[in-house]
Chain A
Amino acid sequence: EPEVTQTPSHQVTQMGQEVILRCVPISNHLYFYWYRQILGQKVEFLVSFYNNEISEKSEIFDDQFSVERPDGSNFTLKIRSTKLEDSAMYFCASSEAHGGGPGTQYFGPGTRLTVL
């Protein structure tokens, strides 16, 4: 069964450094998402992406964050100048085209980001 994959599984970085989290969505999906989950807390929406542009973003997704689909398969989240509070699990998700609503979103296993 097709699945969303994410790399790396765990990323450790120093405060102030830039990180790029990578995702390979399911191949026929057109909608892509990033979420984060701080340890012990709920899953928070960051951004959705469709047709090579951001379709929705949350208050969390400020200028520190950016997303890109550099080729036909990868979807990346870049975090510039990381802060301690960026430490979290970051999940990528994708869904098929939909007539109304995002439809079923399939999640990757996540990347655990630790900022020291």
Chain B
Amino acid sequence: SQQGEEDPQALSIQEGENATMNCSYKTSINNLQWYRQNSGRGLVHLILIRSNEREKHSGRLRVTLDTSKKSSSLLITASRAADTASYFCATDMKTSYDKVIFGPGTSLSVIP
């Protein structure tokens, strides 16, 4: 079944460094979204990138999408301790676009 898979599962960096997380999926998609979840809290939407887009920016976030490789990356530049959270990619299928599938997430720790 179609699924987003993030890697790495866990990432620990120093404040000020960049963090890169990757997501792979299996079937053709309409959109790919990235979400953040602080421990025990709800999901915060970060960026949506459509299948015909290759790159999007939002503040310190940069998302790329390579549909030929069925992969996406999320780059957080100049990380801060407040960026510590789990990050999930979520994809929907072209044939079933109301169903959004989340990957298992990357747990990011930013050490002050």
Q: Which of A56, A91, A109 has the most CB of B within 10 A?
A: A56
Query: Known contacts A101-B30, A101-B92, A102-B31; is A108 also within 8 Å of B98 by CB?
Result: no
The bracket for how many chain A residues form the interface is 20 to 34
Contact B104 A42 (CB under 8 A): yes
Contact B103 A42 (CB under 8 A): yes
Query: Cα distance A44–B3 when bound, in Å?
Result: 11
Contact A102 B43 (CB under 8 A): no
Contact B100 A42 (CB under 8 A): no
Query: Cα distance A44–B30 when bound, in Å?
Result: 19
Contact A103 B31 (CB under 8 A): yes
Tell me which residues from 61 to 116 in chain A have a Cβ below 8 Å from any Cβ of chain B: 91, 93, 98, 100-110
The bracket for how many chain B residues form the interface is 20 to 34
Contact A106 B45 (CB under 8 A): yes
Is B50 at the interface (CB under 8 A from chain A)?
yes
Contacts of B44 in A (CB 8 A): 107
Contact A31 B98 (CB under 8 A): yes
User: How close is A58's CB to chain B, nearest CB, in angstroms?
Assistant: 7
Query: Cα distance A105–B88 when bound, in Å?
Result: 13
Contacts of B31 in A (CB 8 A): 101-103
Contacts of B27 in A (CB 8 A): none
Contacts of B97 in A (CB 8 A): 98, 100-102
Which residue numbers of B lie inside 8 Å of A, CB to CB? 29-31, 33, 35, 41-45, 48, 50, 88, 90, 92, 96-105
